[in-house]
């Protein structure tokens, strides 16, 4: 028999879904409350609609928050009300019971989910998902009680990942968070899931015309097809260099031999050839140097790496459609462009947990302000050099793994 004396009023049901949906949010600084029954009410502010339950323990009024509408529906709020009534009947204090649940942070539950989920997954896949959580998710919501995480928090987190150009990563982050919440609900660590949105509802759609690109799993096959391409050796080298350096097409086809320093392993692109009108340094991997030395036998006596096969007085360099046509002949029309190597590099390097700033500088994206524009081209050069060599080695492994299948 409980020593706590409790009371929950039993009134006639007042709320309906239609009434709740039709009730507007209040003006900023004002609130309103609509009662249901048994102490359950809907507390309305300018930010949203929230469920509250009023009850008494030993004559003292207590108010507990149940969740936000519509994440927690009217039916689910009434079910929670019954659960709390049972807790009171069994001599338990709902506030303390809620605190026990809130001891389960997102990070704690995520670790339990990972232990359960990874049993039939490859080591590489597990490592990738773990890094994705550690880099993009846990720093934001890891220490938050899992039952206190709102939909808006999840939306802002996922959009933050997308703003750095990693749309695929953002999509997968949202999927994994949803899986963790379903695991939490099934095991009693959370009562509801805030992941009520689809990726298409919060993430931009990639423009297929300009940014079409293959998935990571198709990379090895593409590289093999480039190697076997029946076009000119110069075109093959151009595609390989674009993949290894992920510069823009115009920056590659207008490259001059005077911009390259084989001893220092770098390519210095002057400001007047860059989209953002600031100089750019491309650290060169061993593989890129090897390709450049092979190309030097063909075009090293001229000014440009990729001189035109046509009238040099009208078009001194390779056409910007040469790479696109080659990819089309290899069967990648509408699926891959020269620009696609930039998006592919951004996604894969982010997934492999390389520093976001290092990747952005290497992509030569727009500097944040005029001051950063003055030195961004040489920023993080040592780290970027290592990243570019790792990127080239990753290509070699992609082909090797495909050949082993």
Annotation says 380 is catalytic: no
Is 394 annotated as catalytic?
no
- Per-residue pLDDT, averaged over 153-172, amounts to 84
Q: Which of 5, 143, 375, 396 is catalytic?
A: 375
pLDDT at residue 210 greater than cutoff 50: no
Across the range 300-313, mean pLDDT stands at 80
Residue 248 designated active-site:
yes
At CB < 8 A and 24+ separation, what contacts does 362-371 make?
A: 362/246, 362/282, 362/387, 362/388, 363/165, 363/246, 364/247, 364/248, 364/274, 364/275, 364/276, 364/278, 364/280, 365/165, 365/276, 366/276, 367/276, 367/278
Contacts of 64 (CB under 8 A, 6+ apart): 52, 53, 55, 84, 94, 95, 98
Is it the case that residue 287 has pLDDT exceeding 90? Answer: yes
Q: Residue 246, Cβ neighbours under 10 Å: how many?
A: 25
Q: Are 288 and 306 in contact (CB under 8 A)?
A: no
Q: State how far the alpha carbon of 125 is from the alpha carbons of 134, 160, 172, 346, 361, in Å.
A: 14, 23, 12, 18, 28
H or E segment and range at residue 18:
helix 17-22
Q: Determine the pLDDT at residue 205.
A: 64
Active-site pick, 275, 286, 368, 397 = 275
pLDDT tens profile 74-95: 888 888 888 888 888 887 777 6
Q: Which of 85, 132, 164, 248 is catalytic?
A: 248
Say what the pLDDT of residue 191 is. Answer: 72
- Widest pairwise Cα distance in the chain: 99
Please tell me the CATH code under which domain 106-205 is placed. Answer: 1.10.150.130
The whole-number average pLDDT for the span 219-241 is 90
Mean pLDDT to the nearest integer, 101-110: 82
Clarify whether 293 is annotated catalytic: no
Distance CA 243, CA 237 (A): 10
Q: Which of 78, 80, 280, 342 is catalytic?
A: 342
Given a cut of 80, whether residue 31 has pLDDT beyond it is yes
Q: Is 35 helix (H, G, I), strand (E, B) or coil?
A: strand
Give the separation between CA 178 and CA 171, rounded to whole angstroms: 11
Classify domain 210-404 at the CATH topology level. hpI Integrase; Chain A (1.10.443)
Residue 3 has pLDDT above 50, yes or no: no
Active-site position among 52, 92, 111, 365: 365
- Where does the pLDDT of residue 28 fall: very low under 50, low under 70, confident under 90, or very high at 90 and above? confident
149-158, 164-173, 349-358: range with lowest mean pLDDT: 164-173
User: Six-digit token pair at 169?
Assistant: 């990563």
pLDDT at res. 5: 44
The pTM for the full model equals 0.53
Q: Write the pLDDT tens digit of every residue in 358-395.
A: 898 899 875 544 444 555 667 889 999 999 999 999 98
> Alpha-carbon distance 164 to 50, whole Å?
33
Residue 220 predicted with pLDDT over 70: yes
Domain ranges across the chain: 6-100, 106-205, 210-404
Helices 123-132 and 340-351, interaxial angle, to 10°? Answer: 90
For residue 77, what pLDDT is reported? Answer: 86
- pLDDT > 80? residue 281: yes
Sequence-distant contacts of 385-389: CB under 8 A, at least 24 apart: 385/265, 385/283, 387/349, 387/354, 387/358, 387/359, 387/362, 388/244, 388/245, 388/282, 388/283, 388/284, 388/285, 388/288, 388/362, 389/283, 389/285, 389/286
Pick the CATH number of 6-100 from 3.40.47.10, 3.40.50.300, 3.30.160.390, 3.40.50.1820: 3.30.160.390
Tokens of 379: 């920023």
Q: Catalytic annotation on 375?
A: yes
Are 43 and 36 spatial neighbours (Cβ–Cβ below 8 Å)? no
What is the average pLDDT value for the chain, to the nearest integer? 83
What's the whole-number mean pLDDT along residues 174-185?
Answer: 89
For residue 149, pLDDT beyond 70: yes
Run of H or E residues at 78: helix 74-89
**Given the residues 80, 132, 339, 384, the one annotated as active site:** 339
For 255-306, give the DSSP string: -BGGGEETTTTEEEE-GGGSTTSS-EEEE--HHHHHHHHHHHHHHTTSSBSS
Question: Among this protein's residues, is 275 annotated catalytic?
Answer: yes
């Amino acid at each position: 028999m409980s020593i706590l004396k409790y009371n929950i009023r039993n009134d006639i049901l007042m709320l309906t879904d239609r009434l709740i949906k039709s009730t507007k949010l209040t003006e900023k600084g004002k609130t309103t409350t609509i009662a249901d029954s048994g102490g359950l009410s809907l507390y309305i502010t300018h930010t949203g609609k929230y469920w509250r339950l009023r009850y008494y323990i030993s004559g003292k009024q207590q108010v507990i928050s149940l969740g936000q509408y519509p994440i927690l529906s009217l039916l689910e709020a009434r079910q929670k009300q019954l659960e709390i009534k049972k807790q009171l009947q069994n001599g338990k204090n709902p506030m303390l019971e809620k605190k026990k649940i809130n001891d389960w942070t997102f990070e704690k539950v995520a670790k339990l989910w990972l232990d359960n989920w990874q049993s039939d997954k490859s080591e590489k896949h597990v490592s990738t998902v773990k890094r994705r959580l550690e880099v993009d998710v846990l720093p934001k919501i890891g220490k938050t009680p899992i039952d206190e995480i709102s939909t808006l928090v999840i939306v802002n987190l996922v959009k933050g990942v997308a703003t750095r150009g990693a749309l695929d990563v953002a999509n997968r982050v949202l999927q994994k968070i949803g899986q963790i919440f379903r695991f939490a609900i099934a095991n009693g660590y959370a009562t509801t899931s805030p992941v009520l949105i689809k990726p298409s509802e919060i993430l931009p759609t990639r423009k297929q015309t300009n940014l079409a690109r293959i998935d990571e799993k198709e990379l090895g096959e593409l590289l093999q097809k480039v190697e076997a391409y029946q076009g000119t050796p110069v075109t093959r080298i151009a595609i390989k260099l674009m993949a290894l350096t992920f510069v823009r097409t115009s920056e590659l086809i207008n490259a001059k031999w005077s911009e390259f320093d084989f001893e220092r392993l770098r390519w210095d692109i002057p400001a007047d050839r860059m989209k953002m009108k600031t100089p750019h340094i491309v650290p060169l991997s061993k593989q890129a140097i090897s390709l450049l030395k092979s190309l030097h036998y063909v075009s090293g006596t001229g000014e440009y790496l990729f001189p035109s096969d046509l009238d040099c007085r009208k078009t001194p360099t390779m056409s910007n459609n040469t790479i696109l046509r080659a990819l089309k002949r290899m069967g990648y029309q509408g699926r891959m462009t020269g620009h696609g190597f930039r998006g592919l590099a951004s996604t894969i390097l982010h997934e492999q947990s390389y520093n976001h700033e290092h990747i952005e500088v290497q992509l030569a994206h727009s500097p944040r302000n005029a001051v950063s524009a003055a030195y961004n081209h040489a920023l993080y050069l040592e780290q970027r050099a290592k990243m570019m060599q790792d990127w080239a080695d990753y290509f070699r492994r992609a082909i090797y793994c495909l050949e082993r299948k």
